[in-house]
Structure 1
Amino acid sequence: MTTADRYAGFAVREARGVSPVYERLSLAVSRDEEILGLLDTLPEAKRQPNLLFGVVRLLGGPVEEPDAFHDHVVEHWAAIAAEIRVRATQTNEAGRCALLLPLLAHLPQPLALLEVGTSGGLCLYPDRYSYRYGEHTIGGGEPVLDCELAGREPPVGIPHVVWRGGLDLNPLDVTDPADVAWLDALIWPEHAHRRARLRAAAAIAAADPPLLVRGDLVDDLPALAAQAPADATLVVFHTSVLYQVAAARRHTFTEVVRGLPGHWIASEAPDVLRYEGLPEPPDASFHNVLALDGTPLAWTKGHGQAMTWFA
């Protein structure tokens, strides 16, 4: 896939109907030979739209108008490229807990949660948030996470979590304003509700910090899992993480996680974790597949805004 194809595909499959600003900008970049040439000087993994747009926003650049974006990127490319090289997309969307809740609420309680690719750890607090599936509300805390749910009844309770651990190559600290600024920059421009959600979820994590470990998802996962209390059900989970991992390393990770006690929840793109016999997704927009212990269960939207069960 060329860089132009990547940006055109992002506009159509991920941004359309979700972020008009990023749809317009991605299409413009896909036709901008000068910016495409600059992007192609970066390692392939560093050319993704969310990373470029997030870094430009972090550094105070414009993303609303393609012409202004082009001029800014060309003029400030040295600083932008340097920042891209040391960063990764670490979108820490608490809304994804709404995708996890139907599974977490029905596993043997209490739970020990271990998130791979945890970023700042905001998805380690599914028991502290509230949820709204249509007219059905669960919990009484803030923020309230809205999710369109089709194909099954909403969960009826909140899980009991007794341990929280996260593993990341570069874990973020939600008490550090610079780290929170990066998380904010990764939120798409129009999504004020997600920005407010980030602040509320970060306050919860800062008040009761999880155990966040800097490490590799293969080499360091068993040691962290061994720290979970033996009298709790271990749940290793990840959402929209493995696309940043080489295919061979993904395969090794799945072998390691299957060998751990407890359960494994994944929400990843179907070309990242492949399953046989998947039904057609509910529409042409981008979807992940929610799976428990390797069994696919539902199509999910990337920020936790919708899920469609087929199992």
Structure 2
Amino acid sequence: MSTQATESTVSLYLDYAHRWFHGHSPLYVQWATGLASDHGLLNLVAGLPKPKRQPNLVFASARHLGSGDVEFESARTFMLARWPEIEAVVMSHRTQTNEAGRCATLLPVISMIFTQERRPLALIEVGPSAGLCLLPDLYSYSYDGAAPLGSGSPLLRCTTTGNPPIPTALPDIVWRSGVDLNPLDGTDPETANWLRALVWPGQDTRLAQLSQALDTLAALKAGSLGSAAAAPGLAPGDLNEHIAELVESTPSGTVPVVFHSAVLAYLDAADRARFAAKVSALDCRWVSNENFFMDAARDSRASSDSNYFTLSLDGVPLAHTGQHGDELHWLRGAPTE
């Protein structure tokens, strides 16, 4: 194994431990720092293709196979003994964490679009996984401890700073679609188990939200949610190849809203720029919630605070958001209507 691959793997796992897992999953901090100093595991992980070395993917694969949420030494023993199976899961799966909680930070912007346009919305998600973030009008929300908005499940809680446009009513969403390299069926038990394995250890609220959102998706597909719009139609394929046709296929009289969350980081700079050019030229509104945002020149820029995503509308940054949707920090001077 090359020294460069090993060193980059060490750097990756320490970065996740200190930047992403810290404050959110103590066990994953322990696993990531432990692996970064373990020669045997480092060689195995460094031998994976670079996109497959991601800590979320490796650790979720071990947990999916039954490692349990154990101390690092026990996890190490499990991973060394079961590496061929873990590697097979890593190679056949993706980190498609379907974080329904992010709807709490997306909803204010989606509702702002609805207020501005005064027409029903047609949502198009890029990288939707199982499509749980395509259901923001079917959940309920509490901002800063206020009485819930909506009566759906799960109830998503979010704290805010600045002056965000907290909605007083849910937007009218009549159509939902998305494109993903590997769209998932959230009603399939094996797929649901994989999505649960992607939730970090100790994050019981996230796990409960996921289970409740999966139940809502199942009820929608079963037609038991009354007048709610049809279930999301998820197409397989590359976002740059399909986004135009999806926008063009939205129902007449609706406002197409293209959105994505924690997706652009998986593209290289050229593909991000290509996507920005495509979506900017389409007759749609564009909501981005990423550790990268695209500015007016369509350049990829890191968020000014690397622990948060940047939420933007039509290329204009509006807020910094918590990666799991529990924080919304509206930027000074950002529009609120």
**TM-score interval, smaller chain:** over 0.9
Q: Which of 114, 131, 140 is residue 121 of structure 1 equivalent to? A: 131
Say whether 1:32 aligns with 2:38. yes
Q: Which of 204, 219, 241 is residue 207 of structure 1 equivalent to? A: 219
Distance 1:170 1:272 in 2: 24
Q: Which of 186, 204, 214 is residue 198 of structure 2 equivalent to? A: 186
Structure 1 residue runs of 4 or more that deviate by more than 6 Å after TM superposition: 275-278
1:276 Cα offset (Å): 6.9
Q: RMSD in angstroms over aligned alpha carbons? A: 1.8
Distance 2:170 2:82 in 1: 47
Indicate the residue corresponding to 1:265 in structure 2: 287
1:64 Cα offset (Å): 2.6
Say whether 1:155 aligns with 2:167. yes
> Are the equivalent residues in 1 in contact too, given 2:121–2:172 (CA < 8 A)?
yes
Specify whether residues 213 and 60 from structure 1 end up closer, same or farther in structure 2 by C-alpha distance, changes over 3 A only: same
1:114 Cα offset (Å): 0.3
1:308 Cα offset (Å): 0.7
Please give the per-residue CA displacement for 1:85-141, whole angstroms capped at 9, x wherever unaligned.
Answer: 111100101100011111111112310000000000000011111111113231122
Distance 2:219 2:152 in 1: 14
Indicate the residue corresponding to 2:225 in structure 1: none
- The number of aligned residues is 307
Scaled by the length of structure 2, the TM-score of the pair is: 0.87
Q: Residues 1-311 of structure 1 correspond to what in structure 2 (within 5 A)?
A: 2-107=8-113, 108=117, 109-136=119-146, 137-153=148-164, 154-208=166-220, 209-270=231-292, 281=305, 286-310=307-331, 311=334
Distance 2:307 2:188 in 1: 32
Partner of 1:257, secondary structure, is: helix
Distance 2:42 2:162 in 1: 42
1:167 Cα offset (Å): 0.8
Distance 2:10 2:250 in 1: 44
Specify whether residues 193 and 277 from structure 1 end up closer, same or farther in structure 2 by C-alpha distance, changes over 3 A only: closer
Q: Which consecutive unaligned segments of at least 5 residues does structure 1 have?
A: none
Partner of 2:212, secondary structure, is: helix
1:254 Cα offset (Å): 1.2
1:270 Cα offset (Å): 3.4
Scaled by the length of structure 1, the TM-score of the pair is: 0.94
Please give the per-residue CA displacement for 1:33-69, whole angstroms capped at 9, x wherever unaligned.
Answer: 2111111111111101100111111111134311111
1:230 Cα offset (Å): 2.4
Specify whether residues 63 and 272 from structure 1 end up closer, same or farther in structure 2 by C-alpha distance, changes over 3 A only: farther
Specify whether residues 45 and 276 from structure 1 end up closer, same or farther in structure 2 by C-alpha distance, changes over 3 A only: closer
Distance 2:152 2:282 in 1: 32
Percent of aligned pairs sharing the same letter? 41
Distance 1:226 1:50 in 2: 35
1:215 Cα offset (Å): 1.1
